Amino acid sequence: MSQKIFCPNPNCPLYRVDEGDIVKFGSYQAKDGKRWRYRCNSCGETFSERALTGLYGLHADQRKVDKVISKIKKGVSLRQISRDFGIKLDTVRYWRDRFLKQGMIETMKGKKYNRQVLKRKSILRGSDESRSEGERGQSKMKLDATSKEVLDRAKADEIKFILLQFTDILGMIKCVTIPVERLQDVLEKGLWFDGSSIQGFVRICESDMILRPDPLTYQVIPWKVEGRKSARFICDVHTPDGKPFEGDPRSILKKVLAEAGKMGYVFNTGPEVEFYLFKKENGNITTVPHDIGGYFDYPARDFASEVREDIIFALEAMGMISDMSHHEVGPGQHEVDVRYSDALSSADNTITLKYVIKSIASQHGLYASFMPKPLFGEAGSGMHVHQSLFDKKGKNLFFDAKDKYKLSDLAYSYLAGQLAHAKALTAIVAPTVNSYKRLVSGYEAPVYICWGQVNRSALIRIPRYSQGREQSTRMELRCPDPSCNPYLAFAAMLKTGLEGIKNKMEPPKPVEEDVYKLDSAQLRDRKIDMLPFSIKRAIEELSRDNLIKEALGKHTFDNFYEAKSAEFDDYRMQITPWELDKYLEAL
C-alpha cells in the first residue's frame, strides 16, 4: 500500500494520484507530539499530517487493510471479503477505491480493469462530466485515449453486444444494440439514427441525428448470460453538424450545470426512488401487489427482500452504491436509494436504477411500476430529491453553523428561488395525469408551497443537522415522482435555485405544523399557496414561467407542452368506472 504524500481533496486534480505540489504549512500539537500541516499548491487547501497519510479516517491497522487489498487483487468478491473479515461492505468498497490504484486487477476470469481507474484518469485529463460538450470535444486525442481504455475494458470483459441508451423528453429510455465489433467506430464517429420517431425530437424532414456514447458511462450488464454478455453506454444526442441537440434532455442538464459551474458551484443530488412490485397472471400485468408488507417491515412479511437484494447486487456490479433499500408504506411498495453524486451522474444513475429494477423484477416473474399512484387508497410513489451546492474545492455551501437550521444565506436564496417557481416546476417533476392523484391531502405527498424541518407535509424539507456531518447539509424537494425525466427535473430545479441566488431572494418563514390541519383563513394569513391540482394547471403555470422555459429551450418546451396537453385531452374524454358507478343508475 502506497505511503506517498498526496492531496486528499476529492475535487483536486491530483486527488490521491501523485505526490503533487504539496508544501509544509505550519504545525499543530497532537497527543504524541507536534505534527505538520500541509498545503496543496494545486487546489490551495490545507490538511493535517494525518489527513495526508494512508490510514486517515480508517480506524484500522495497516495489516488488516493490506490483507483486504490483497484479497481484492485476487478477485475475491467484496461481499465475501466483508463476511470473512467482519467489516461493513461499504468499508471494503472505500478501501478498494482509496488504495487500489493500478489499472488491472486479477479476477477469477483473468485480468480486468479496476473500475475506478477510468474516472480518475478522466479527471487528470480535465475531461470530467461537469465540463461542457464543447470543452470535451476540443481535444480529439483526449477522447481517443478514453475510448481506447473503454475498448480494452470491453475486450477484457468479453463483451459481445453494446446497448446505446438515451431518453426522450418524457424520460422514456430508448436503446439501440450494436455488436461489439462496431464499438470503436461508434466511439469515434457516433451512430446515425432516425430522430423523427422519438417523442419530442424532430420532424421527418429533419430526421437524421447522431448518438454519441459517453465513455465514462460504460458498465457491464451483470445479468446477461455468458457468451452473450452486454455492456451499456448512456449517450448524448447530436445534430448532423456535430452540435448537441437542443431537445436532448442530457444536454439540457449539462447546459444548466455549466451555468452553475461559471458561478463556482457543483450541484449534487440524491433521489429516493419508490416503486411497486405487482404480480403477473399468465404473463399479463395485474395490480395485485407482490406482498402485504408495510413500512420497514421485516422479511417474514416483506416477500420482496430477495428481489431488492438482487437489485443491489446488480447496482454494485454496475459501479453504483446503494445507501439503503426497504419496504415502503403501500403493499408491494419499495424504495431503493443510490448514493448522492453530481447531478449528471445522479440523473444517469436514476435512469440506470429504473432499468435495473424492471429487469430484475421481470426475472422474478414480477412487474415493477414507477406509476405515481397505481392503487386507490394506498401511498403513491414519489422521488424525493435531496439537493446541495458545493464549491470547486468540495465544501458544502449550504452549511452555516450559526443558523438555527444550519443553512447559509446562499441556501436560503436557493430555497426561495424554488418556492417562487414551484407551480411551474411541478409540471416538470410531476409530469403525468396520474402524478396529481398522488399530490393530494392525507398522505405524505406535498400539496402546499412552504418549507420546514420536522414538517413532512411541506414542499421542501430541511433534514436535521448531525454533529460532524456538515457536508450532508441539504434540502429535500418532495413533489417529484419517478415518472419524471431526471435530466429535465434536475435542470429545472437547479435553474430556479440559481435564480434565487442571483437575485438574493428570501424565503417565507418556515411552517413546522401539519399544513393539512390549517383552515383556509390560516393559509391565507400565512400566504401559503397550493401546487397545481392537475397536469393541465401545471403546464399552464409552466407556459407563464420564462425562467424554466429558458432552461428547457423553446424546442423542448413546445414539444413538452404539446405532449402534455394531448395527454390531458385524452384523459378528460375518457368515461371512467367511477363515473359509471356514480351516475349511470342514479341519473
Q: If DSSP codes are grouped into helix, strand and coil, which group holds residue 58?
A: coil
pLDDT digit string (tens) for 1-28?
Answer: 334 566 666 556 565 555 556 777 666 6
pLDDT digit string (tens) for 221-259?
Answer: 988 777 789 999 999 999 888 899 999 999 999 999 999
pLDDT digit string (tens) for 106-160?
Answer: 555 555 545 444 443 443 334 344 444 444 443 343 445 778 888 988 998 889 9
Examine the pLDDT at 562 and tell me if it is beyond 90: yes
Q: If DSSP codes are grouped into helix, strand and coil, which group holds residue 275?
A: strand
Amino acid at position 260, single letter = A
pLDDT digit string (tens) for 441-463?
Answer: 877 789 999 999 877 788 999 99
Task: Judge whether 303 and 309 are in contact, CB under 8 Å.
Answer: no
pTM, entire model: 0.76
DSSP 580: I
Examine the pLDDT at 93 and tell me if it is beyond 80: no
Residue 309 and residue 239: Cα distance in Å, rounded? 41
The residues carrying an active-site annotation are 194, 272, 274, 328, 335, 384, 456, 476, 478
Residue 109 and residue 101: Cα distance in Å, rounded? 20
| Helix (H), strand (E) at residue 424 | helix 422-429
User: How far apart, in Å, are the Cα atoms of 537 and each of 421, 437, 479, 520, 567?
Assistant: 14, 14, 15, 20, 13
Residue 254 and residue 259: Cα distance in Å, rounded? 9
Residue 388 and residue 463: Cα distance in Å, rounded? 12
